[in-house]
């Protein structure tokens, strides 16, 4: 459990760095002469880098895992470089050099992938099988808590000197990440029971699993970042959004540990499928909510369902990758999530979300996406070779 809490703290601080980065990027970019309209393209570049580097780091972590202790040292070293690039951003921006600023952004984006797939490799390769769902659940919980406080944090960060949160976030992450070496050795020591050579039966085919993950992730991006605020604005004033948007993430966090227990009992892909089906129903209910209270309930349950989807997806990726390809499959799943975020940002950049003729399609896209994800995942379990 202590290893899981440690991984949750690492993921929390990592996600917190992204929140700080997004909050201050427009201001820092303006200092180097980059117009506000170009900020979305920088964020899209970040996500494109994540798509490529998450998978690459996942593959590399599989190779590093062959030697005990190597993943921890490797991730800690790359993360130090990542934190240094992140820390430098608010100090370089006042100099006015757009080239140096963008080089640091790219360096940070590439190296930050060391904290996505490699920790999953660590869990999948060395954790005892009964521990695995709990460790994944706690790790994902760290991301959920960071996302829950992000709207409130963003609201208050903008009045602060950017150097302060950049220094605090990067130093905290760098210090905590050094514990990965000890965490890796503890997992090896405590997880002496080796998992079976073959993956458990009944898993979905890998292509179908990844297609289902894409559909579910795109549905989440559209619902969470394009549709939720307009839904709340039907019943509440804009100044209440910072308190209402986190309802989704509160549901997500409350469901994470139960989702871990359920995954241990019935398997990750079943939890993922059920979560996608429930998420689709909840987003349908959110679109038809007659009051703020009904909308809050629908959003909270939708968040819990998305937590089940994500928990089940990571557990399934590790099961499909066992043994020796945990990083490859975990990296592929992380790349899928980044691709979904990139797609949502492309919609924002093209301003399709403002087009009147597309409003109906955007409103119901999450319902269709999550329903399709559940259907594809069910089909994929029937297509996997024996």
Q: Residue 98: what pLDDT? A: 94
The answer to whether residues 142 and 148 touch, using CB atoms and an 8 Å cutoff, is: no
66 has a pLDDT exceeding 80: no
pLDDT tens readout for residues 220-247: 999 999 999 999 999 999 999 989 999 9
Distances (CA, A) of 378 to 90, 153, 382: 47, 39, 7
The answer to whether residues 8 and 176 touch, using CB atoms and an 8 Å cutoff, is: no
* Predicted TM-score (pTM) above 0.85: yes
Q: Is 35 helix (H, G, I), strand (E, B) or coil?
A: coil
Tokens of 190: 């405590």
Tokens of 182: 């000890």
Residues 55 and 178 in one domain: yes
Residues 324 and 372 in one domain: yes
Q: Residue 200: what pLDDT? A: 61
> First-to-last CA distance in the chain?
35
Residues 161 and 236 in one domain: no
199 in a structural domain: no
Q: Is 202 helix (H, G, I), strand (E, B) or coil?
A: coil
Domain of 172 in residue numbering reads as 2-190
pLDDT tens readout for residues 262-296: 999 999 999 999 999 999 999 999 999 999 999 99
Q: Residue 1: what pLDDT? A: 57
Average of pLDDT values for 39-56? Answer: 97
147 in a structural domain: yes
Number of domains into which the chain is organized: 2
Residues 139 and 263 in one domain: no
Distances (CA, A) of 375 to 207, 296, 305, 306, 338: 14, 27, 16, 16, 22
Q: Residue 130: what pLDDT? A: 80
Distances (CA, A) of 93 to 32, 106, 154, 156: 6, 14, 20, 21
Question: What's 297's domain CATH number?
Answer: 1.20.1250.20
Residues 174 and 214 in one domain: no
51 has a pLDDT exceeding 50: yes
Residues 57 and 185 in one domain: yes
Residues 24 and 169 in one domain: yes
196 in a structural domain: no
Question: In terms of Cα–Cα distance, which of 340, 331, 316, 347 is closest to 113?
Answer: 331
188 has a pLDDT exceeding 50: yes
Question: In terms of Cα–Cα distance, which of 332, 338, 340 is closest to 366?
Answer: 340
The answer to whether residues 33 and 96 touch, using CB atoms and an 8 Å cutoff, is: yes
Residues 232 and 367 in one domain: yes
Residues 170 and 247 in one domain: no
Q: Is 128 helix (H, G, I), strand (E, B) or coil?
A: coil
Distance, in Å, from the CA atom of 74 to the CA atom of 115, rounded to the nearest integer, reads 11
Q: How confident is the model at residue 37 (pLDDT cuts 50, 70, 90)?
A: very high
Residues 27 and 110 in one domain: yes
195 in a structural domain: no
Residues 236 and 164 in one domain: no
Distance, in Å, from the CA atom of 153 to the CA atom of 158, rounded to the nearest integer, reads 9
136 has a pLDDT exceeding 90: yes
Distances (CA, A) of 53 to 112, 115, 125, 174: 9, 11, 20, 20
Q: How confident is the model at residue 189 (pLDDT cuts 50, 70, 90)?
A: confident
Q: Residue 228: what pLDDT? A: 96
Question: CA-based diameter of the chain, in Å?
Answer: 61
156 has a pLDDT exceeding 90: no
197 in a structural domain: no
Domain end residue (candidates: 190, 217, 245): 190
215 has a pLDDT exceeding 90: yes
195 has a pLDDT exceeding 50: no
117 in a structural domain: yes
Q: Residue 119: what pLDDT? A: 87
Residues 217 and 172 in one domain: no
Helix axes 180-190, 2-31, angle to 10 degrees: 150
Question: For residue 69, how many other CB atoms are within 10 A of its CB?
Answer: 14
Domain end residue (candidates: 164, 190, 216): 190
As a whole-number percent, the residues of the chain with pLDDT over 70 amount to 95
201 in a structural domain: no
Break the chain down into helix, strand, coil percent, rounded to 5: 85, 0, 15
Domain end residue (candidates: 166, 190, 214): 190
Q: How confident is the model at residue 169 (pLDDT cuts 50, 70, 90)?
A: very high
Of 55-64, 85-94, 119-128, the least confident: 119-128
As a whole-number percent, the residues of the chain with pLDDT over 90 amount to 74
DSSP class of 17: H
Let me know how long the chain is: 386
198 in a structural domain: no
12 has a pLDDT exceeding 60: yes
Distance, in Å, from the CA atom of 16 to the CA atom of 149, rounded to the nearest integer, reads 9
């Amino acid at each position: 459990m202590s290893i899981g809490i440690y991984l949750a703290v690492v993921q929390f601080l990592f996600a917190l760095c992204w929140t700080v980065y997004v909050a201050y990027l427009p201001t820092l970019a303006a200092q180097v002469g980059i117009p506000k309209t170009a900020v979305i393209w920088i964020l899209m570049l970040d996500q494109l880098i994540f798509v490529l580097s998450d998978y690459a780091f996942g593959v590399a972590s599989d190779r590093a895992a062959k030697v005990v202790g190597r993943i921890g040292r490797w991730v800690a070293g790359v993360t130090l470089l990542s934190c240094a690039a992140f820390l430098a951003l608010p100090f370089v921006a006042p100099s006015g050099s757009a080239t140096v600023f963008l080089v640091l952004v790219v360096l940070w984006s590439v190296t930050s992938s060391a904290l996505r797939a490699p920790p999953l490799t660590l869990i999948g390769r060395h954790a005892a099988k009964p521990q695995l769902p709990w460790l994944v659940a706690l790790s994902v919980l760290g991301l959920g808590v960071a996302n829950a406080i992000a709207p409130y944090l963003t609201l208050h960060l903008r009045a602060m000197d950017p150097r302060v949160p950049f220094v605090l976030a990067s130093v905290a992450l760098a210090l905590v990440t050094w514990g990965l070496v000890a965490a890796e050795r503890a997992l090896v020591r405590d997880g002496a029971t080796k998992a079976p050579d073959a993956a458990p039966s009944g898993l979905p085919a890998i292509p179908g699993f990844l297609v289902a993950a894409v559909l579910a992730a795109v549905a989440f991006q559209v619902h969470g970042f394009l549709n939720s605020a307009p839904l709340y604005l039907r019943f509440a004033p804009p100044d209440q959004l910072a308190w209402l948007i986190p309802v989704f993430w509160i549901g997500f966090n409350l469901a994470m540990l139960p989702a871990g227990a359920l995954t241990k009992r019935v398997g990750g892909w079943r939890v993922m499928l059920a979560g996608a089906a429930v998420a689709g129903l909840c987003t349908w209910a959110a679109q038809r909510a007659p009051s703020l209270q009904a909308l809050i309930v629908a959003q909270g349950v939708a968040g819990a369902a998305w937590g089940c989807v994500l928990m089940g997806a990571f557990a399934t990726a590790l099961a499909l990758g066992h043994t020796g390809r945990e990083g490859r499959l975990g990296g592929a799943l992380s790349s899928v999530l980044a691709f979904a975020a990139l797609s949502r940002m492309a919609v924002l950049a093209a301003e399709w979300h403002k087009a009147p003729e597309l409003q109906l399609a955007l409103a119901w896209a999450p319902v269709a996406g999550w329903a399709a994800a559940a259907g594809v995942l069910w089909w994929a379990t029937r297509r996997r070779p024996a």
